[in-house]
Structure 1
């Protein structure tokens, strides 16, 4: 009698027709959340111990099946390409692209399977298959880590033209055929309670740029996931079928069960004592579905207030400056009503400082109105028109699998990620 075969084993794969084998390999490709730039942990609230870099680097490696066999590698090469090659190719084809595209990328030869992770010309020694920087057009969500006070880790002044990062996001998403686009909630309004009063305020030019897309996934919470077992992360299936999609976006309003799965994975394989990031996120912020969704609804209501108030507060020239003729809509053409017809409720804010610069990125407390005590008058036609032009910002939680054990003191961290 032949040996019993477990459900996890299948020995007749090579006997399948070639077309079926290739279709199976294609199903193994990850659907990733690709980040345009590295995340800046100092802008997250509350402060995150994790550097967030490990997940960013792992997320750009070629899919796991690229290292299985010739057939699987053929599928990887057919459906994806080196990110550096993509950036250089677009920069050469479109000279009017956003100015940061391709500035620090090195061209590579993708006819051979030797793409480079190179960001700077001095890094050519790092070129290898394992360090490839990979993208998969048509199978990704493109994410922008930019906020109004973001500082580029590579020293570029990307806040000089405030609409540019969002314009770059949408431009790249078009050419990468992204299935959706994602932004940090902090770009518009920080999610943390009471933090919005001292946080960044969206600029009118950023509003113009955001208005070019109908909807965005808004990341309201970053949750770094550190586990004691790499195998547990891979076998859970939560980070892709083969564990090669370390960034995951989850909509808490429609998929809270998945959030509970991430929580259960961490409770079973995480450090419940030392990993204070996970303790705060899983056991406090995400402890209650109803409580978290209530916070999301309150955040969205405040987003509407900030959006409308910023457009009303800016003068007509600033609100319209730089708009192409085909971008001007009915809401832009409508005369602005007086402040009291835009808002309901008592205004307890005494007014902004006399030296306030209209072009300054200021805190919401510098507005004419107290957003905390006033509500929008949604019967006002001008308010209705502005809200109709506002994109949908759908709150999402981003889970980032990190195998670097960042939460430990530096002396206790492993020199290399743990391998099972």
Structure 2
């Protein structure tokens, strides 16, 4: 076996070594809350099967990067901008902006210590209408306001699920131009109080990614790392990718290949893809119908969430046994 170790690395100038270490650090999506599989997949039966349990990617996504365990120098570089610790207190987060909105909390918030990099990490909200209906409990705070605070603590970027905005999924593109809409339509359905709050929250950041689909890639870690699609060291296990990015196409194809190679899966994923232009029009048109605001649709861009599951949880002995009967 060829030895690909670069033995002269310790002799490089320290500035160059530090640059290399920094390039190896992952750019992660720091999840504000848990994604609940039976809520996302709309499967409420106790014996329902899901394309993924999500547990593997949730845990792996919060672990310290590999550089914290290589050597003293790499660990020092990792801790320049990263830390393993709890979220900021409500008072600390509220001090980031002057909205006066109390901190939002629900039973699905990630409360344990997770790694966060204030330069490289974005943040994401999994909570949506389905979670609200089925899980229910929240405090008086607002999810998007709290998410914007978290984004400002990190790299300033944030994303949320398309179902979070009510009626967004019911807004299909058509042949009419996005603007101007008939004001008769706007006047017929005034903006709800909840959407007025959402609109104010969306104006806290200059842009947002709106996740229109979640795709899981079931693949062993060594193989995933070799693809180069999950960061230099394979640690970007949760990614929110702009729908128009070539990376989205590459990850889609990898997910389809991995699922196609499995003998049996618990539940097949839907890999049907719509053009990026279609999704962009859907998001912008839906946002205007929700908020009656000309400016906010241009802050929203469609995205796909890709999750790497190394536990191969879509392989089911139960399904194999049923098929053998």
In the alignment, does 2:147 pair up with 1:157? no
In the alignment, does 2:166 pair up with 1:259? no
Alpha-carbon contact 1:34-1:142 (below 8 Å) kept:
yes
Q: What CA deviation, in whole Å up to 9, does each residue of 1:230-250 have, x standing for no partner?
A: 211111111111011101122
Cα distance between partner residues in 1 of 2:199 and 2:308: 32
Cα distance between partner residues in 2 of 1:222 and 1:294: 17
In the alignment, does 2:307 pair up with 1:303? no
Alpha-carbon contact 1:223-1:399 (below 8 Å) kept:
yes
Shift of 1:306: 2.6
| Cα 1:194/1:103, change in 2 over 3 Å | closer
Tell me the equivalent position of 2:81.
79
Tell me the equivalent position of 2:25.
29
Aligned with residue 314 of structure 2, among 398, 404, 407? 407
Normalised to the residue count of structure 2, the TM-score between the two structures is 0.75
Shift of 1:88: 4.5
Aligned with residue 70 of structure 1, among 44, 49, 72? 72
Q: What CA deviation, in whole Å up to 9, does each residue of 1:136-182 have, x standing for no partner?
A: 002111111121342499x7822x53x61111111122223x24111
In the alignment, does 2:238 pair up with 1:247? yes
Cα distance between partner residues in 1 of 2:280 and 2:289: 14
In the alignment, does 2:212 pair up with 1:220? yes
Cα distance between partner residues in 2 of 1:216 and 1:64: 29
| Cα 1:306/1:277, change in 2 over 3 Å | farther
| Cα 1:387/1:191, change in 2 over 3 Å | closer
1:134 aligned counterpart, secondary structure? strand
Give the CA RMSD over aligned residues: 3.7
In the alignment, does 2:275 pair up with 1:280? no
| Cα 1:181/1:13, change in 2 over 3 Å | same
- Report 1:298-377 matches (<5 A): 298-308=282-292
2:314 aligned counterpart, secondary structure? coil
Gaps of 5+ in 1: 106-116, 120-131, 196-200, 309-385, 414-420
Cα distance between partner residues in 2 of 1:76 and 1:411: 42
Q: What CA deviation, in whole Å up to 9, does each residue of 1:91-133 have, x standing for no partner?
A: 499597733579999xxxxxxxxxxx973xxxxxxxxxxxx62
Cα distance between partner residues in 2 of 1:209 and 1:92: 15
Cα distance between partner residues in 2 of 1:174 and 1:31: 16
Alpha-carbon contact 2:51-2:268 (below 8 Å) kept:
no
Tell me the equivalent position of 1:208.
200
Gaps of 5+ in 2: 44-49, 173-191, 321-325
Paired residues in the alignment total 290
Cα distance between partner residues in 2 of 1:92 and 1:181: 15
1:280 aligned counterpart, secondary structure? coil
Aligned with residue 184 of structure 1, among 161, 168, 171? 161
Aligned with residue 102 of structure 2, among 73, 88, 98? 98
Alpha-carbon contact 2:211-2:302 (below 8 Å) kept:
yes
Q: What CA deviation, in whole Å up to 9, does each residue of 1:267-310 have, x standing for no partner?
A: 544444534766422xxx12xx64x64244234323322322xx
Cα distance between partner residues in 2 of 1:19 and 1:213: 34
Cα distance between partner residues in 1 of 2:72 and 2:133: 39
Max Rg structure: 1
1:58 aligned counterpart, secondary structure? helix
Alpha-carbon contact 2:93-2:149 (below 8 Å) kept:
no
Alpha-carbon contact 1:236-1:265 (below 8 Å) kept:
no
Tell me the equivalent position of 1:361.
none
Normalised to the residue count of structure 1, the TM-score between the two structures is 0.59
Cα distance between partner residues in 2 of 1:307 and 1:263: 32
Cα distance between partner residues in 2 of 1:306 and 1:88: 32
Shift of 1:221: 0.4
- Report 1:10-49 matches (<5 A): 10-44=6-40, 48-49=50-51
Q: What CA deviation, in whole Å up to 9, does each residue of 1:214-265 have, x standing for no partner?
A: 32100000111112x3211111111111011101122122x1x323322343
Taking CA–CA contacts closer than 8 Å with sequence separation of 6 or more, which of the two structures ends up with the larger relative contact order?
2
| Cα 1:390/1:5, change in 2 over 3 Å | closer
